[in-house]
Amino acid sequence: MTPFEFLLPYSLEEALSLLDAEDPDIRPVGGGTAVMLMMKAGVLRPTRLVSLQKIGEQHSAVTVGGDGELILGGMARLADIERHPAVREKWPLLSQALRGVANPRVRAVATIGGNLSHADPHMDMPPVLAALEARIIVTGPKGSRTVIAEDLCTGYYETVIRRDELITEIHIPPQSGPGAYLKMTTRAVHDWPALGLAVVLKMVGGQFDQASIFVGAATDRPTRLRHAQAALKQNGLEESAKRAAAEAAVAEAQLMGDGHGSAAYKSQLLKVALPRAIETALRNGRSHT
């Protein structure tokens, strides 16, 4: 392994000062689960790692704001988010999806900011947070800016975050209706998915209004399935409407093959998964009331 600096700043400001917008070999480290694997594989050879472990407990907090939004510090660990009582009660889709991320050892150290920054298209959180209409607060030397979760990832391992910026908070509005995250894997349930599908059914006065549907893993970034959403809004949630939405999803999605399956295989997965995800969301909604 190539020698590198390992720095331990004690504030967000100090951490930001140690990053460099022009140097791709300087990397921040949250839980370190992805960075260490990449270094062991030889695909990442940093000259400097900036640990975020000591920048302050406030950056690891999980709180509910006065407006009812869930606020996650960028350094909040996945296990702490999943176990938080408010998350389990008010954001059941997030809690359910987190239980399937990697394994308990990884969730105990991995951070939500690091998870999102890594931008592996097979990650579970990006499509889930996009479906929940989350907002990402990104902070750099010139201040903070807000990025819609849907717009965070731009391609394989690529985001709109600059090299001298960090994810400092994630704001998630109250879950607007029942939801589900369906993760289709080729082996164990915690494995990288061949396809991930996040669905939130928005309810108005107890009646279905519209859906928020995002596919991941089969695409190079979380992708909204607009035609499928439109099909459900027009036709409702009857069985025929679910099948029509699935056909629309398959027709519009630009799916990509990889080691987890061909594009044709993933297309079939999507066709099967979307009606199942909608039904799971409805079932979750009934059990949560």
**Last residue of one domain, picked from the residues 141, 172, 203:** 172
Q: Are 119 and 45 in the same domain?
A: no
User: Distance between CA atoms of 96 and 155, rounded to whole angstroms?
Assistant: 26
Looking at the structure, do residues 36 and 64 belong to the same domain, yes or no? no
C-alpha–C-alpha distance, residues 2 and 278, integer Å: 48
Query: Residue 10 sits in a domain of what CATH number?
Result: 3.30.43
Are 277 and 260 within 8 A, CB to CB?
no
Look at residues 132, 156, 172 and tell me which one is the last residue of a structural domain: 172
CATH number of the domain within which 136 lies: 3.30.465.10
**Alpha-carbon gap, residue 132 to 177, rounded angstroms:** 10
Confirm if 146 and 135 have CB atoms less than 8 A apart. yes
Look up the CATH number of the domain holding residue 273.
3.30.390.50
Q: Rounded to whole angstroms, how far apart are CA atoms 57 and 117?
A: 20
Q: What is the chain's pLDDT, residue by residue, as a tens digit (289 residues)? A: 678 999 999 999 999 999 999 999 999 999 988 888 888 888 889 999 999 999 999 999 999 999 999 999 999 999 999 999 999 999 999 999 999 998 899 999 999 999 999 999 999 999 999 999 999 999 999 999 999 999 999 999 999 999 999 999 999 999 999 999 999 987 765 578 999 999 999 999 889 999 999 999 999 999 999 999 999 999 999 999 999 999 999 999 999 999 889 999 999 999 999 999 999 999 998 876 5
Are 162 and 191 in a shared domain? no
Same domain, 47 and 62: no
Dihedral, 49, 97, 70, 139 alpha carbons, nearest 10: 20
pTM assigned to the model: 0.95
Cα 24 from chain centre: 23
Domain of 32 in residue numbering reads as: 5-51
For residue 94, give the nearest of 165, 194, 107 by alpha carbon: 107
Strand partners, 147: 136
CA angle 126, 91, 51 (to 5 degrees): 50
Q: How many CB atoms lie within 10 A of CB 235?
A: 14
Asked whether residue 194 falls in the same domain as residue 260, the answer is yes
- Please tell me whether residues 93 and 168 are part of one structural domain: yes
Structural domains counted in the chain: 3
Q: Are residues 68 and 44 in the same domain?
A: no
Q: Would you give the DSSP letter of residue 102?
A: S
Task: Based on the fold, state whether residues 101 and 184 are members of the same structural domain.
Answer: no
Last residue within a domain, chosen from 140, 172, 204: 172
**Cα angle: 233, vertex 170, 286; to 5 degrees:** 40
Residues 166 and 193 both lie in one domain = no
CB 214 within 8 A of CB 183: no
- Count CA atoms within 13 Å of residue 255 on its CB side: 28
Residues 75 and 163 occupy one common structural domain: yes
3-state secondary structure of 252: helix
SS3 44: coil
Residues 40, 85, single domain; the answer is: no
CA angle (125 as vertex; 121, 128 as ends), nearest 5: 105
Q: In this predicted model, what pLDDT tens digit does every residue of 102-129 receive, in sequence order? A: 889 999 999 999 999 999 999 999 999 9
Same domain, 152 and 186: no
